[in-house]
Amino acid sequence: MRHVVRFLKDRIKVAHVDSETPASFLHRMGTTLSVDPKPLRFAYSRLNSLLRTLEVTEVDEFAPISLVADFATLLATYPKGFMVVLEPFNSRTPHIPDPIMQLACLDASLAVRPVFQKFQSVILTSGTLSPLDMYPKILNFHPVVRASFEMSLTRPCILPLVVSRGRDQTPLSTKFETRDDQNVMRNYGDLVVQMASTVPDGMVVFFPSYSYMETIITAWHEWGVLERVEAHKLLFIETKDIVATTLSLGSFRRACDSGRGAVFFSIARGKVAEGIDFDRHYGRAVVLVGVPFQYTLSHVLRARLAFMRDHYHIREQDFLTFDALRNSAQCVGRVIRSKRDYGVMVFGDMRYARQDKRTKLPLWVQQAMRPAHLALTPELAASVTARFLREMAQPEDAEAAVGTSLLRLEHVKSLEAARLADEATAEKGVAVGGGAAGSAADAIREALAGGFAAEGDRAKPGSSDPEHAAAAATAEAMAAVSYPPRGAAGATGLGATQQSVSAPGAFSGLGGFLDADDEDDEDDAEWMHVLPAAASSAAGTAGVAAVSAGASAADVAAGEDVEDDPGVLSDEEALAAQAEAEAEGLEASSRKRPAPEGGRGLSAPKRAKAAADP
């Protein structure tokens, strides 16, 4: 490692910006030091093993050599996807010598590749995963399912606003050409003051970079803008010091808890934007000053853009826009952390009003944007915010959430029944009503939706309509044999043949689902009280033909016990027998079918008798 450190000290002494691939860097190192660079792959693990063997407790003292070991291990492990960038000075302060050597990761797929190799099924999900078509390119994978969903909300709890111009109609933007304009900075200050005087409790303001935040805060201090803000709330600022930022966050929360209110100035790509939640009263509004584009003169960014252009055919402007709006969505998402939370999202830049920028925001933000809120001034934004906060402060109707963002037990069971019916129909593919295709799930969903109504609205087996009564009785039999009473240990198959929309096994699967919870007998009983009516409606609508092996539909309607009938056929045998009966012109519900060979589907005594007397 001593030789490696000496080589790095000599290599970092450059007069101009330079970059090398890991393979080229290692080749230069091996030639200069006359060593084989391959063992460097184990530098990190060997150093850690040495520290553990020596039982070193002051690990912080060895942080510099650990950093060198990490650098060497990554160089030798990844010959592609990384780049060594050497800069003799900081691009923002070119007159001050400050040599820097960076090992930049250009290929993000290297980080997720071990996950894809280890697991067969991987779900990538996030509230800011937008646009979806960019991630498969960057991470180099082919998604099987790709979907974007809206938020299931009972009330409009988020209010996105685009403030595109100031009070004097000056366009608001942090573009390089206008970001230092005093009129632009004054209007941004007016926006912060207007929102601070309107929003209660906590508010967060995000800036695109540390340098711009320092510039604009200095100007606001000279113009008295900060004093106007502090007249309404306390002011806290994020710094590059993690300890100071943590203390500021604690004071910010205490100010919000005490009712004084506070404003937190932060960076769009800083610690606060990526890992701190401003839920409930800690974040009733977030103001995004400008679009957080990366510093385009960065040599690391240029190397990454060139890599993605050459390997993934991603245009530079597409990636820059994607990256900026992803960070914007991450910032504004800090204020909405639950279905009962609410907050205002202020996009302070005229570029957010453009179609090509808005469509790259997450779908749940787009669906809340109104055309009237895309070109506001600070005064109009404050007025709309005040009206929104008054509405959100009203008591929330808990019943309005039922069926939308809150599901009861009966809703879950209805969805499970529909899912099982869909699977059964897809597997069997049987026709409905003499060849007309139908969906079991649709019929059962409609029936179950009606089954959750009041007791008087439920369809009952004892209806005056003979056809409806027969269908209801058939569904009653199907439900009875599919979900036998607790303690009925002799049921080995279905007691009714389900055809058309209700394929064999659908209701038995539902019965198993309900019976799995042995502690909720009352809930299951209530559910089974609803299921026959729901099944009867589904059977009557789609024309389900159901035949018991030991009892006819008339017997079922008359109240005969079909569960105790030992002559229960399996699904395939019952379907075959029914088809044979229909071909012979006989009515299936009035025939008594013989037991199958081998005693399949018979009770234990009759199975033994069938085996003894063929």
- Tens-digit pLDDT profile for residues 161-187: 999 999 999 999 999 888 889 999 999
Q: Is residue 320 part of a domain?
A: yes
Higher per-residue pLDDT: 442 or 38: 38
Write down the pLDDT at residue 275. 75
Residue where one domain finishes, among candidates 105, 126, 146: 105
* Average pLDDT, integer, range 266-270: 91
- Residue 561, helix vs strand vs coil: coil
Higher pLDDT, 451 or 289: 289
Share of the chain above pLDDT 70, in %: 69
Residue ending a domain, choose from 351, 367, 400? 400
Q: What does the buried/exposed string (b/e) look like for 146-163 if buried means 16 or more CB atoms within 10 Å of the residue's CB?
A: eeeeebebbbebbbbbbb
CB neighbour list of residue 522: distance below 8 Å, 6 or more residues apart: none
Give the residue with greater pLDDT, 305 vs 610. Answer: 305
Q: How far is Cα 502 from Cα 546, in angstroms, rounded to an integer?
A: 9
Contact 257, 314 (CB under 8 A): no
Where is pLDDT greater, at 194 or 444? 194
Which CATH number belongs to the domain containing residue 222 in this structure? 3.40.50.300
Q: Which of 117-121, 125-129, 302-306, 434-438 has the lowest mean pLDDT?
A: 434-438
Closest by CA position to 206, among listed 349, 420, 62: 349
Q: Are residues 308 and 444 in the same domain?
A: no
Average pLDDT over residues 101-117: 93
Q: Are residues 533 and 473 in the same domain?
A: yes
**Pair 89, 178 in one domain:** no
pLDDT surpassing 90 at residue 220: yes
* Domain-embedded: residue 90: yes
Q: Which of 88-92, 137-141, 339-343 has the lowest mean pLDDT?
A: 88-92
When pLDDT is averaged across residues 449-454 and rounded to a whole number, the result is 43
509, pLDDT greater than 50: no
The range of the structural domain enclosing residue 508 comes to: 409-612
3-state secondary structure (DSSP) of residue 135: helix
Query: What is the spatial distance between Cα 287 and Cα 169, in angstroms, rounded to a whole number?
Result: 19
Same domain, 176 and 311: yes
493 in the same domain as 418: yes
Q: pLDDT tens digits, residue range 306-335?
A: 999 999 999 999 999 999 999 999 999 888
* pLDDT recorded at residue 580: 58
Token readout for 283 is 């974040």
Do 393 and 413 have their domain in common?
no
For residue 33, what are its two tokens? 């030091």
- Please report whether residue 288 resides in a domain: yes
* Token pair recorded at residue 228: 């106007």
Is 144 domain-assigned?
Answer: no
Q: Give the whole-angstrom CA distance, residue 426 versus residue 421.
A: 8
CB atoms near residue 584 (< 10 Å) = 9
Q: How confident is the model at residue 573 (pLDDT cuts 50, 70, 90)?
A: low
pLDDT digits (tens, 9 = 90+) for 249-264: 999 999 999 999 999 9
pLDDT above 80 (res 18): yes
Banded pLDDT at 612 (limits 50, 70, 90): low
pLDDT for 465? 45
- Higher-confidence residue of 510 and 101: namely 101
Same domain, yes or no, for 328 and 433?
no
Answer with the one of 366, 400, 434 that is the final residue of a domain: 400
d(CA 9, CA 395): 66
DSSP state of 83: E
Q: Is the pTM of this model over 0.85?
A: no
CA dist 159 and 272 (Å) reads 21
Is position 494 within any domain? yes
Helix axes 409-428 and 440-451, enclosed angle (nearest 10): 160
Say yes or no: 317 and 437 in one domain: no
Per-residue confidence band for 74, with pLDDT thresholds at 50, 70 and 90: very high
How far is the first Cα of the chain from the last one, in angstroms, to the nearest whole number?
86
- Residue 475 pLDDT greater than 90, yes or no: no
Asked whether the predicted pLDDT for residue 451 surpasses 80, the reply is no
The H helix count followed by the E strand count for the chain is: 24, 11
Question: Which is more confidently placed, 535 or 426?
Answer: 426
Residues 311 and 437 both lie in one domain: no
Shared domain check, 458 and 425? yes
Residue 558 has pLDDT above 50, yes or no: no
Longest dimension (CA), the chain: 106
Beta bridge partners of 264: 204, 236
Q: What percent of the chain has pLDDT over 90?
A: 44
In the chain, the number of structural domains is 3
Q: Is 283 exposed, middle or buried (0-12, 13-18, 19+ CB in 10 A)?
A: buried
- Residue 258 and residue 233 in contact, taking contact as beta carbons nearer than 8 Å: no
Number of Cβ within a 10 Å radius of residue 364: 21
- In this prediction, residue 426 has a pLDDT band, given cuts at 50, 70 and 90, of confident
Is residue 140 a part of any domain in this protein?
Answer: no
Question: Is residue 139 in a domain?
Answer: no
Euclidean distance between CA atoms 354 and 164, whole angstroms: 10
Spatial CB neighbours of 131, under 8 Å, sequence gap ≥ 6: 322, 359, 360
Res 565: pLDDT: 42
Helix (H/G/I), strand (E/B), else coil: 86: strand
pLDDT mean over 568-575: 51
Which is more confident, 540 or 361?
Answer: 361
Q: How confident is the model at residue 583 (pLDDT cuts 50, 70, 90)?
A: low
Helix (H) or strand (E) holding 215: helix 210-223
- 180/208 same-domain check: yes
Q: What gap in Å lies between CA 132 and CA 119, rounded to an integer?
A: 21
**Residue with structure tokens 């959430």?**
401
- The pLDDT of residue 134 is 92
3-class DSSP state of 100:
strand
**Distance separating alpha carbons of residues 520 and 412, to the nearest angstrom:** 15
- From residue 212, alpha-carbon distances to 180, 190, 267, 291 in Å are 9, 17, 10, 12
Q: Does the pLDDT of residue 159 top 70, yes or no? A: yes
Q: Is 87 helix (H, G, I), strand (E, B) or coil?
A: strand
Lowest mean pLDDT among 88-97, 133-142, 338-347, 476-485: 476-485
Are 314 and 362 within one domain? yes
What's the confidence (pLDDT) of residue 581? 52
Whether 89 and 97 have beta carbons less than 8 Å apart is answered as yes
103 vs 612, higher pLDDT: 103
* pLDDT tens for each residue of 22-69: 999 999 998 898 888 888 999 999 999 999 999 888 888 899 999 999
Report the mean per-residue pLDDT for the chain: 76
Note whether residue 561 is domain-resident: yes
